[in-house]
Amino acid sequence: MHRYIIQRLLLVVPTLFGAAALVFVLMRLIPGDICVVRLGSGGGTFDERAVAACHAELGLNRPLILQFFDFIWGFCHFDFGTSMWSGKPVSYEIAARFPISLEVALLATIVAVLVAIPFGTLSALKQNSVLDLVVRVIAIAGLATPGFWLGILIILAILNISQIAFGAPWMPPIDYVPLWKDPVRNLSMAIWPAIAVGYRTSAVTMRMTRSAMLEVMREDYIRTARAKGLIERIVVNRHALKNALLPVVTLIGIESAFLIGGLVVTEQVFNLNGIGRLLVQAVQNQDYTLTQALVMLTVAVFVFTNTAVDMLYAWLDPRIRYA
Amino acid sequence: MTIAASNEATAPTLLDDLPGGPRSLIGRALVFARRQPLGTFGLVLVLVMAVAGLSADWIAPYSPTANDFAAMTEAPSWAHWLGTDQFGRDQLSRIIFGARTALIVGFSCAIVSSFAGLVLGVGSAYFGGRLDLYLQRLLDILMAFPLIILALAVVSIFGTGVHNVIIAITIPLIPRCARIIRSSALSIREIPYVDAARACGFSHSRIILRHMVPNVMAPFLILLTAFVGQAILAEAALSYLGLGVQEPVPAWGLMLQGGAEEYASTAPWIAIFPGLAIAVTVFGFSLFGDALRDALDPKMRDR
Amino acid sequence: MSPIGDKPLLEVRGLRMHFPVTEGSFSHRKVGAVKAVDGIDFTVRRGETLGLVGESGCGKTTTGRCILRLERPTAGEICYDGVDIAKLQRRELLALRRRIQVIFQDPYSSLNPRMKVGEIIAEPIKVHRIERNTARRRARVRELLSVCGLDAKFADRYPHEMSGGQRQRVGIARALALEPEFIVCDEAVSALDVSIQAQVVNLLEDLRERFGLTYLFIAHDLSVVRHLCHRVAVMYLGRIVELAECNELFDQPLHPYTQALLSAVPVPDPTVEETRAFRPVKGEVPSPLNPPSGCVFHPRCPLAVERCKGTRPELRELYPGHWVACSEVQQ
């Protein structure tokens, strides 16, 4: 097992290195000179010396290969340079915004899975019933509904319902309070975007749980379990569900990509100061240092999530040999 | 291996002529409609949107870009079926023209990326060796980027606008297609009819085009349909962020930007209808895609 | 039967096919090799049918694939009519493709499900420009179908509309389309029902007479081999352990492995069956990744002595035309 963990972690290195190389190349493809764009954004004239100074500051006058190693080395010790827009260190900007994004993502996954597994299972056990039909339609609608639109609808509902109920509109708070300081305030902020981005994850998980359950319930060992007189609850809980949930575990890793992407847009809807919003601002402001750092960060989060999920899978599934 | 492979090779699908079954396109469509009512419903939704987008110039009651400051944030009425936005533009007309943008982006991205994925996937599986190895590592790296994130990175380089959005969404879709087509093509490469073709001395291009590509059509068509929906969603997200399609081009995501939240309590129709248009269109593609998968790939039923 | 020539049409010498086992996602570091075929020699004379028998995984199919150049052998020579197939380049290979054809085991997966039967048979004729005229090509397809005992109407059918036996006939028709002289029959009847098997075996026999074909008949069903083959080679773990005239091999098997293999075939006569000594082979087939030293059969051999572990026995001609690779068997 230890060997497997180490091997799996070592596989992450080339992927991240390749991703870093790709980001580095992409950011050098930007047409024009970053410094000219930066200094000339006012449309006025700029002198050569200012451009040269800017090049020196950003290290752009060094050979490309050295720039690349600077870039990699920076990532290795969390030094991503300074934001070209705010002038603050990128790591500072990220550290301030990371907790809220992480919290929403975790909350979304937890809520999604907690809703999806029981409904997916029930849907499979009562195949072709009304409940099954409703669950399937809700699930397929989850694939079609843009998370950010769901967010807008949630805000719409909160505003109008609170207006009717309290006589004054209420909006979820937008400044971040850590969970341990004021859990009510924290959750009343984080739960709405979590629902908005989590719906898709929940829908996909529900579909997966349903189809996996349907498949497992047809297996011979389920028939055997029933034939030896086990009550249905034990057949389902101990024999079917355990096997059906294995593919669902992998799904969570794959879905984390959609979750990250969904967060980028949903944070905008709820005015949450998270990583996603920061990335959108960075792209809008043509802040390339910040953009490349944030893109790399999301890639790293995604890759490590999937590695963790693989390990969890290997630990849960006795058939996987750690070779 | 042989048993699994033989099932795969022989399970008749809608692409085959079933014995005694209908052979014309219309006949097959009718069989599909009878067996897959939900999928047909999805197809109808898609077709309605497509017709709306294609004939937008004739059926839209107003110009999608004309401001009418006398009729700002008006509720749905006989004059404006879906109300007007904060600039007095007719929502229905903007949604009809938005269908055109959504379908252009959706189909361009889906067609370009799935054809690129088909070429890479089948080529990689057929030639194998070092080419396959390096291509797989490259695809691994591209797959490490969540779709929207890579699209944002591309937008930050090429800028916004319809064409750049198409590029930005197509690039991350390519590896997702290539990966699935490759695994499908790998299993086909092991099936003896490909060996038989090699033993007959056929050229690489003939083996790939006549013997491999037709047999990966089922996953290819399923992916193509799924990608249209994904691309429409991604375009809406980018446009909503202000990093996609730009005004004055009518686009659903763009319609949700700005006014939707600001007027949430006074003019909720601004937020509701464009989003509904996105959801209904993608819903239609999802239903149709599910049905297509059932019809083309009997093994994947219930998934 | 058509006369069998003296000159060998196919000469296989020292053929080895090792599949590398690699590790690592970038480097493809070689960590071992599956020795599917590990140094075999045999010849096939013109007009002759050589049977190649053995358990699954013994390398008989790989041997066939090397002769067809579907695999490039690791070492050794495959001389076909004086030309070494193993070393041919792609261009030169093309001419050879017309002369050597193949019939596969599984009639379900050896035909492209998206092509009509007529297209499947016509394709090689078209590609090799044997018949450029479409109408004449269609006539040729009908002729080939009828040679293989199928009605001309099957040309417009898809493979999945036909039975296993009919598909196998289509596979044979495709092989004949290029007018080859040598056909590798890779378990050509193993996947068919017994009643169909007999028909297809008879068809193969007829075609051999009619077109003077030479077969390499790869099979594990010994009764079919006995019926069809002139000579038989027995393979075990990538090596040939015995090679003899068909009747000689069945009546007087010399190698302990051949004896065990033959004793596993039931005799359809209860009284004979009663008296027969059934000698099952003990143990499992070792992995071709790591074959035993010396004689590969020694861990399971009833005759094994100490020296079998050390030296690999070569094929030697114990009786005229009867070759065996065992150091313990004597005349």
CATH of the domain at A225: 1.10.3720.10
pLDDT of residue A41: 55
Could you tell me how far CA C105 lies from the centroid of its own chain? 10
C-chain residue closest to A14, CA distance: C26
- Rounded to a whole number of angstroms, the distance between the first and last alpha carbons of chain B is 22
Residue A181 sits in the same domain as residue A272: yes
Question: For residues B192 and C110, is the Cβ–Cβ distance under 8 A?
Answer: yes
Query: Are both A54 and A145 inside the same structural domain?
Result: no
Is the pLDDT reported for residue B14 higher than 80? no
- pLDDT tens digit sequence for B261-301: 777 777 788 888 999 999 999 999 988 988 888 777 654 44
Between chains, do B6 and C108 touch, taking CB under 8 Å as contact?
yes
Q: How far is C271 from chain B (nearest CA, A)?
A: 38
The H or E element spanning position B201 is: none
> Is residue C277's pLDDT more than 70?
no
Q: Is residue A222 part of a domain?
A: yes
Inform me whether the pLDDT recorded for A323 exceeds 70. Answer: no
**Binning pLDDT at 50, 70 and 90, where does residue B33 land?**
confident
A40 versus C222: which is more confidently predicted? C222
Closest residue in chain B to residue A305, using alpha carbons only? B144
CB pair distance less than 8 Å for B201 and C127: yes
Q: What separation in angstroms does the CA of C231 have from each of B87, B163, C49, C50, C52?
A: 92, 70, 7, 5, 9
Co-location of A204 and A269 in the same domain: yes
With respect to residue A89, please indicate whether it lies within any of the assigned structural domains. Answer: no
- Residues A22, A116 within the same domain: no
Any domain includes A87: no
C25 reaches A (C-beta below 8 A): yes
Closest CB to C28 among B2, B133, B196:
B133
Rounded Cα distance between B51 and B46, Å, is 9
Q: Are residues A41 and A148 in the same domain?
A: no
Q: What is the mean pLDDT of residues C281-307?
A: 83
The residue out of A23, A42, A76 marking a domain boundary is: A76
pLDDT band of residue B246 (cuts 50, 70, 90) is confident
- Residue C36 C-alpha, separation from nearest chain A C-alpha, in angstroms: 24
Looking at the structure, tell me whether residues A67 and A25 fall in a common domain.
Answer: yes
Q: What is the mean pLDDT of chain C?
A: 87
Q: Does the distance separating the beta carbons of A156 and B272 come in below 8 Å?
A: yes
What residues in chain B have their Cβ under 8 A from chain C's Cβ atoms? Answer: 2, 5-6, 9-10, 12, 15-17, 19, 130, 133, 137, 191-193, 195-203, 206, 210-211, 214-215, 217
Q: What is the pLDDT of residue A76?
A: 80
B126 band by pLDDT with thresholds 50, 70 and 90: very high
DSSP assignment string, C283-297: S-PPPTTSPPSSSTT
Taking residues C72-86, what's their average pLDDT?
89
What's the confidence (pLDDT) of residue B85? 80
Q: What is the pLDDT of residue B124?
A: 93
Domain boundary among A21, A50, A76: A76
* Of the residues A31, A50, A76, the one at which a domain ends: A76
pLDDT of residue C27: 58
Cis peptide before C320 (omega within 30 of 0): no
Q: Does A13 touch chain C (CB under 8 A)?
A: no
Q: What is the pLDDT of residue B1?
A: 30
Q: What are phi and psi of B62, to 5 degrees?
A: -130, 170
Q: Model confidence at A46, in pLDDT bands (50, 70, 90)?
A: low
User: Over 60: is that where the pLDDT of C176 sits?
Assistant: yes
Q: Which residues contact A249 (CB under 8 A, 6 or more apart)?
A: A309, A312, A313, A316
Instruction: Say whether pLDDT at B181 is over 90.
Output: yes
A82 domain-assigned: no
Contacts of C31 in chain A (CB under 8 A): none
What is the distance between the alpha carbons of residues C83 and C32, in angstroms, rounded to a whole number? 31
- Given a cut of 60, whether residue A311 has pLDDT beyond it is yes
> Is B69's pLDDT higher than 70?
yes
Residue the block writes with tokens 């490490």? B144
pLDDT for the residue numbered B22: 55
- Answer with the residue of higher pLDDT: B235 or A47: B235
| pLDDT at res. B57 | 87
| Banded pLDDT at B224 (limits 50, 70, 90) | very high
Q: Which residue has the tokens 């070592």?
A: A10
Interface of C with A in 233-292 (CB under 8 A): none
Contact C173, C179 (CB under 8 A): no
Please state the rounded mean pLDDT for residues B191-218.
Answer: 91
Q: Band of the pLDDT at A189, cuts 50, 70, 90?
A: confident
Q: How many CB pairs under 8 A join A and C?
A: 3
Residue B115, pLDDT > 90, answer: yes
**Mean of pLDDT values over C32-39:** 86
Residue A231 lies in a domain: yes
Q: Which residues of C touch A14 (CB under 8 A)?
A: 25-26
Report yes or no on whether pTM surpasses 0.90: no
Q: Which residues of C101-114 are buried (b: 16+ CB within 10 A; e: fewer)?
A: bbbbbbbbbbbbbb
In a domain, A86, yes or no: no
Residues of C with CB under 8 A from a CB of B: 25-26, 28, 65, 68, 70, 93-94, 97-98, 100-102, 104-106, 108-115, 123-124, 127-128, 158-161, 171, 174, 178, 191
State residue C322 phi and psi, 5-degree precision.
Answer: -115, 105
Give residue B102's pLDDT band: very low, low, confident or very high (50, 70, 90). very high
Q: How far is CA C154 from the centre of its chain?
A: 28
Please determine, for residue B29, whether its predicted confidence score (pLDDT) is greater than 70.
Answer: yes
A227 lies in a domain?
Answer: yes
Inspect the interface and report whether the beta carbons of B215 and C158 lie closer than 8 Å.
no
Say if residue A149 is in the same domain as residue A279: yes
**Cα Rg for chain A, rounded, in angstroms?**
24
Strands C239-245 and C231-236: antiparallel
Select the residue from C92, C110, C112, C154 to test the B interface by mutation, using most B Cβ atoms within 10 A.
C112
Mean pLDDT of chain A: 83
Whether B193 sits inside 8 A of C112 (CB atoms) is: yes
CB pairs under 8 A between A and B: 153
Q: Please give the structure tokens belonging to residue C153.
A: 């109407």
Query: How many other CB atoms sit within 10 Å of the CB of residue B237?
Result: 29
Asked if A118 and A218 sit in the same domain, the reply is: yes
Q: Is the CB of residue A30 less than 8 Å away from at least one CB of chain B? A: yes
Identify the domain containing residue A124 by its residue range: 94-316
Q: Which two tokens stand for residue A179?
A: 């969970």
Mutation site, B38, B149, B252, B301, interface A, largest A CB count within 10 A: B149
User: Do A165 and A205 belong to one domain?
Assistant: yes
Same domain flag for A148 and A64: no
Query: Residue A187 — pLDDT band, cuts 50, 70, 90?
Result: confident
Dist CA B209 CA C328 (whole Å): 55
Contacts of B62 (CB under 8 A, 6+ apart): B80, B89, B90, B92, B93
What is the Cα–Cα distance from B228 to A316, expressed in whole angstroms?
Answer: 36
At A288, which helix (H) or strand (E)? helix A288-316
Q: What digits encode the pLDDT tens for the residues A60-99?
A: 777 778 888 888 888 887 777 777 777 788 888 888 888 8
Q: What backbone torsions phi and psi does residue C323 show, to the nearest 5 degrees?
A: -105, 140
Instruction: Check if the beta carbon of residue B152 is closer than 8 Å to that of residue B159.
Output: no
Number of CB atoms found within 10 A of residue A209's CB = 28
Statement: residue C24 has pLDDT above 80: no
| CA-based nearest residue in chain A for residue C26 | A14
Please report the number of interchain residue pairs, chain B to chain C, with beta-carbon separation below 8 angstroms. 93
Domain shared by A277 and A195, yes or no: yes
Tell me whether residue A184 is in a domain.
yes
> What's the total number of domains in chain A?
2
Q: Are A55 and A117 part of one and the same domain?
A: no
